[in-house]
Chain A
Amino acid sequence: MGWLQSVFNFRIVSQYWEVFAQGIVNTILISAVCLILSLSLGILVALGRRSSNPLIWRPLAVYIQAIRSTPLLIQIYLIYYGLPALLPFGNFLNETQTGIIALTIHTTPYMGEIIRAGLESVHRGQIEGALSVGMTPRQTMTNVVLPQAIANVVPPLLGQTAVLIKDTSLLSIIAVFELMGAGLRMFSETVIATESYVTTAVCYLAIYAMMLGLSGLVQRKLGGSAWQEN
């Protein structure tokens, strides 16, 4: 086993397993919080984007295009340095909370566009039918449109969630401790690149594999037309 030790030193990696476990937990937690926030805001953005009031949809369109045309790293920097100045009682947010806010602001437009596409995928006749049998617009939304839209929306949402998980790695640059941060800490303490970064990659791939398994499960449960191409 000597040659293997010289290629990849498992003993050093095993010394750092707690750091990486903490990193994985933090990455999943940050992603989960961002997912919940950006999904709820994304629904609002999608509904606002469909509004006929230009005072509502125009600013949202600008927001969506601005986020899509600039790198996440720049957005993180802008939030990280800019947000404390906007807060009324000084900076009470730590890096993790700032990072979550930045990632949520970044992910919301993508979620919003996915949800909007899902809402538009519901056939017009469905809405007309629901209204003509006497449902209120609200009832039409909750009982007719949303159940159909959700089935079409879940596959791209899972894809976007996988992207969100990968995007959390950029938070390591503003000193948030997550999986990438774990790899960076191991590298700064041991100065062995292979073990540090390959372990990080393997952990990300493990999370990704979990996501793939989950989406297979949802696919079997939910069906829906959007699955067909894969």
Chain B
Amino acid sequence: MEWFAHKWDIIDQLTPFLLQGLWTTFKISIVAIFFGSMLGFILGVLKTLQIYPLEKLINTYLHLLRGSPYLVQLYIVYFVFPSFNISWLNFDSFTAAVVSLSLYTSSYVTEIVASAIFAVPTGQSEASRSVGMTKAQAYRYVILPQALKMTIPPMASVYVIVIKSTAVLSVIGIAELTRQGEVAIMRMPGDIMFIYSLIAIFYFFYCFPVLRFSKWAETRFGSIGIDLK
């Protein structure tokens, strides 16, 4: 009973502190998914235009981001960019977190948008061209509306990936959920396991509904068979 009271005491003390961290996690992940989706959408559409040098360039960009761990990308944005001596690349830690996470997100979104556009049957674009639409009009009125609907389920999975990646930001001292937990552990070093389990539960209640939504959306909007890692 005493054990239980002690643990309840910890939960009672730490919850506001951890919720603060969860709020930062939420903010960063929302901003990153927003900018990452914008960039990813543009790159994804450009990729489907199949203009030779541009496509190669985008593929190289994707390989660079998919081939290296997010931790390394974060260190490069946070430590290497400032050494270029360009004033606006001198990020503070929050900006570095958002920039690196947005770039990382964009690599996923680009592939999703591109494969969704490719998944729209070619007859759709041929038909719109044959009724006299320009290529831009065909994209705007026929292809993109159908393609974007198909991106909803994988985008939810990407959002979970983004949330989980924010845990890594604790290494550059962003006060998000994991970092707040580490600070709490410095105050109560006897309860490491309990506090980490508490953080895990917080993450779980944040991510699990989004994963369920993704699964539901797949039955609702259909799957484009893209496999997210």
Contact = CB atoms under 8 A, between A and B. Distances in A.
From DSSP, what is the main secondary structure of chain B's interface residues? helix
Interface residues of B, number: 41
A129 interface: no
A77 B200 CA distance: 10
B167 interface: yes
Which residue among A69, A197, A198 has the maximum number of chain B CB atoms within 10 Å of its CB? A69
B208 interface: yes
Contacts of B178: 71, 73-74
Most buried by B among A73, A75, A205: A73
Contact of B200 (A78, A166, A167, A173): A78
B54 interface: no
A3 B225 CA distance: 48
A77 B227 contact: no
Interface string B172-201: 000000100000000000001100110110
Given A74-B167, A159-B229, A69 B197 contact: no
Contacts of A69: 160, 203-204, 207-208, 211
Contacts of B70: 166
A123 to B, nearest CB: 17
A180 B71 contact: yes
Contacts of B69: 166-167, 169-170, 180, 204
A90 to B, nearest CB: 17
A189 interface: no
Contacts of B68: 166, 201, 204-205, 208
Interface stretch (B2-10, B72-80, B123-131, B142-150): B72-80
Which of B71, B208, B225 counts the most chain A CB atoms within 10 A? B71
B135 interface: no
Contacts, number: 113
A197 B203 contact: no
B193 A194 contact: no
Interface stretch (B11-19, B30-38, B59-67, B89-97): B59-67
A173 B167 CA distance: 12
Contacts of A85: 193
Contacts of B208: 65, 69
Contacts of A73: 167-168, 170, 178
A183 B188 CA distance: 32
B24 interface: no
Given A194-B83, A200-B72, A68 B229 contact: no
A209 interface: yes
B115 interface: yes
Given A173-B171, A194-B80, A82 B71 contact: no
B72 A81 contact: no
A8 to B, nearest CB: 10
Given A82-B196, A162-B66, A170-B69, 12 more contacts: A71-B163, A71-B166, A71-B203, A73-B170, A78-B197, A169-B69, A193-B75, A197-B80, A204-B68, A205-B63, A209-B67, A229-B225
21 contacts: A65-B211, A66-B200, A68-B160, A71-B178, A74-B167, A74-B178, A110-B229, A159-B227, A162-B66, A162-B229, A180-B69, A180-B71, A183-B72, A183-B75, A193-B83, A197-B80, A201-B68, A201-B73, A209-B67, A229-B115, A229-B226
